[in-house]
């Protein structure tokens, strides 16, 4: 049995995300802890925190996962954006710690044409600074939150489309015990990693292991792709309706390095299929 869930809304109050996850039949779920499209946010109230933690404990859903907001760009050469991005990352680690959320997924951003090497150095510095700032402010936190670096689709100027780039970031992080990886199937496929047969998936995961280490793999974003192999197109599709297809997901969902991990679907919701439908298809392919 695989642990599958979706990204759910926190509208109304953050604890309502747990209610929504339960209603959808999730084993795990993902949220934004605040507005993902703005820099400003409200602090969590003690009542909100208590309700969220209590509902998680009673629901049996685990793990809850947080995704960092969209605006931060830790690879940015622009000092104002970079500074705000580091602050946002540190604040998200703090919010996850308060909410007892063990995983925080972050995009790695864009170097905006200044080059991958410079972008990698900016990200390494951002992660070190954010973790360091939080540890200094709250030394009692005990490393309860792991930052998960998400692989990208290899779009123009993005960082993290190659496994080797993620490996280089982790190598440069001082507290590397607090850093893992979120593997997005759509992004990997669009970046040129073949996943659709047992042999090619084995080869891809062997490359992951060599560049990063399979012990770093903590979470999967299970998404089909609207673009073909190596298309560099970051467009998610319903499970089995894109270029990875049902046969590809059957292979993915039976791979030993993937099957045991929590999986978050970030698939569309439209007249073709909703979240419940995608969860059902994922479970069917995992069991078949």
Catalytic pick among 107, 111, 122, 238: 107
Catalytic pick among 92, 150, 165, 224: 150
Catalytic pick among 95, 111, 236, 238: 236
Catalytic pick among 37, 140, 256, 270: 37
Known active-site residue 266: yes
Catalytic pick among 7, 111, 187, 216: 187
Known active-site residue 255: no
Catalytic pick among 34, 221, 224, 237: 221
Q: Using CA atoms, how far apart are residues 145 and 107, in angstroms rounded to an integer?
A: 16
User: Taken in order 212, 218, 220, 221, is the CA torsion positive or negative?
Assistant: negative
Catalytic pick among 234, 238, 243, 275: 234
Known active-site residue 184: yes
Catalytic pick among 47, 70, 138, 171: 70
Catalytic pick among 15, 27, 92, 184: 184
Known active-site residue 210: no
Catalytic pick among 207, 266, 274, 283: 266
Chain position carrying tokens 């005990």: 142
Known active-site residue 37: yes
Known active-site residue 150: yes
Known active-site residue 246: no
Catalytic pick among 67, 111, 162, 238: 67
Known active-site residue 254: no
Which of 91, 106, 110 lies closest to 173, judged by CA?
A: 106
Q: Which residues are part of the catalytic machinery?
A: 37, 67, 70, 107, 150, 184, 187, 221, 234, 236, 266
């Amino acid at each position: 049995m695989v642990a599958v869930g979706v990204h759910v809304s926190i509208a109304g109050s953050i604890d309502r995300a747990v209610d929504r996850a339960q209603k959808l039949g999730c084993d795990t779920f993902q949220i934004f802890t605040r507005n993902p499209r703005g820099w400003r946010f409200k602090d969590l109230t003690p009542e909100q925190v208590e309700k969220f933690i209590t509902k998680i404990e009673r629901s049996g859903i685990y793990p809850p996962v947080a995704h960092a907001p969209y605006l931060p760009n830790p690879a940015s050469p622009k000092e104002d954006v970079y500074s705000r991005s580091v602050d946002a990352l540190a604040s998200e680690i703090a919010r996850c710690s308060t909410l007892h959320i063990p995983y925080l997924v972050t995009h790695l951003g864009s170097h905006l044409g200044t080059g991958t090497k410079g972008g990698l150095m900016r990200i390494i510095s951002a992660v070190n600074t954010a973790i360091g700032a939080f540890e200094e402010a709250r030394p009692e936190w005990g490393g309860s939150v792991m930052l998960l670096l998400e692989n990208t689709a290899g779009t123009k100027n993005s960082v993290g489309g190659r496994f080797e780039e993620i490996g280089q970031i982790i190598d440069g992080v001082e507290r590397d015990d607090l850093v893992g990886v979120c593997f997005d199937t759509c992004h990997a496929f669009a970046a040129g990693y073949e996943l659709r047969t047992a042999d090619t998936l084995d080869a891809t995961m062997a490359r992951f292991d060599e560049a990063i280490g399979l012990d770093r793999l903590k979470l999967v974003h299970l998404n089909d792709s609207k673009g073909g192999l190596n298309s560099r197109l970051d467009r998610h599709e319903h499970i089995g309706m894109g270029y990875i297809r049902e046969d590809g997901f059957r292979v993915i969902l039976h791979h030993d390095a993937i099957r045991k991990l929590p999986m978050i679907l970030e698939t569309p919701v439209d007249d073709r299929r909703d979240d419940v439908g995608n969860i059902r298809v994922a479970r069917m392919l995992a069991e078949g």
